[in-house]
Structure 1
Amino acid sequence: MIVLPTAVREAILERAREGKPGEICGVLGGTYEPAGQSRVRSQYPAENVADTPRTRYEIDPEEQLAIFDRLEDRGEEIVGFYHSHPRGPPRPSATDAAQATWPDRSYLIVSLEPCEIGSWRWRTGESETAESETATERFEREQVVVG
């Protein structure tokens, strides 16, 4: 579960509307719990530097590190990341899954058509098959509590 303050939700929605038709992105800071309830305290907007910002998002690595430093200076942990899908849907795309790199963190996705927010945790692990062990990677939907 991820707890998202109303003010943070509204700020992210406003950025998504202003950024349309491109995807917006940023980092969520607060209290991180790998298997439990994470609480967002703040959002850190980032510039989308993807080559095709209408269909993808990418945070510049140097800007991401600067955001992480600001977060730590404020006594926050990295709760996760957010981005928008201006033309829907509010769930991870194949590209999102291919680019996810932070296990157990939340990936909040804002859809504008329809207007909806969804959140997923990126899970990694080992799964045994009859022939061999293979790593599994998947998004698991998590409950978003606004308040």
Structure 2
Amino acid sequence: MTGSDPELVVPAEIRDVILERAREGTPEEICGIFGGDFEHEGRSRVRSQYPAENVAETPRTRYRIDPEEQLEVFEHLEDRGEEIVGFYHSHPRGPPQPSATDEAQATWPNRSYLIVSLEPLEIGSWRWREDAAGERFESERLALE
């Protein structure tokens, strides 16, 4: 890492689609996958988003993407020449930051985890890190284009 904060660049139209899905999905959490590019160390650019069904046992407070659906999206991204940039989900009644469950389930190093809060309406983005200090979420800058 170069010392600069990580950054996730998201087109405004993709942000708007995710916000609308989050509103429509309430009271349950919505989730999905981002495709795109790693432009340089610490900066990712979203080029596409793939909504996924939330198959968690308690979808009002958790999210889980079906592994088969996730694999299909990953294969589609590969066919398009895109990388897995990260994931998104909503917290209908919580803050736009990772919960203890989000931390326990994060498995993709250097990928972004965008979280939409509906009450109040806010978006937060976090980068999952694994290094000598351990595993943790690091706040990242969210840039809209």
TM over 0.5: yes
Stretches of 4+ moved more than 3 A in 1? none
Where 2:132 maps in the other structure, the secondary structure is strand
Indicate the residue corresponding to 2:14 in structure 1: 8
Is 1:115 matched with 2:113? no
**1:42, 1:114 → 2: CA distance?**
26
Structure 2 alignment gaps of length 5 or more: 1-6
1:34 CA drift (Å): 7.2
1:37 CA drift (Å): 1.1
**Residue 58 of structure 1 is aligned with which of 61, 64, 69?**
64
Letter matched to residue 140 of structure 2? E
Deviations 1:33-57 (A, max 9, x none): 5732100011000000000000000
Q: TM-score, normalized by length of structure 1?
A: 0.92
1:73 CA drift (Å): 1.3
**1:81, 1:12 → 2: CA distance?**
11
**Residue 141 of structure 2 is aligned with which of 125, 137, 143?**
143
Structure 1 alignment gaps of length 5 or more: 128-135
Q: Is the 8 A contact 1:47 1:59 kept in 2?
A: yes
Aligned positions of 1:122-141 closer than 5 A: 122-127=128-133, 136-141=134-139
Q: Is the 8 A contact 1:34 1:104 kept in 2?
A: no
Deviations 1:96-122 (A, max 9, x none): 000000001000000001111110001
Across the aligned residues of Structure 1 and Structure 2, the Cα RMSD in angstroms comes to 1.0
- Percent identical pairs in the alignment equals 73
Is 1:20 matched with 2:18? no
Indicate the residue corresponding to 2:3 in structure 1: none
**1:105, 1:98 → 2: CA distance?**
15
Q: TM-score, normalized by length of structure 2?
A: 0.93
**2:135, 2:40 → 1: CA distance?**
15
- Higher mean C-alpha displacement, 41-50 vs 68-77: 68-77
Q: 1:34 to 1:96 in 2, by over 3 A?
A: farther
- Based on CA coordinates, which of the two structures has the bigger radius of gyration? 1
Q: Count residues with an aligned counterpart.
A: 139
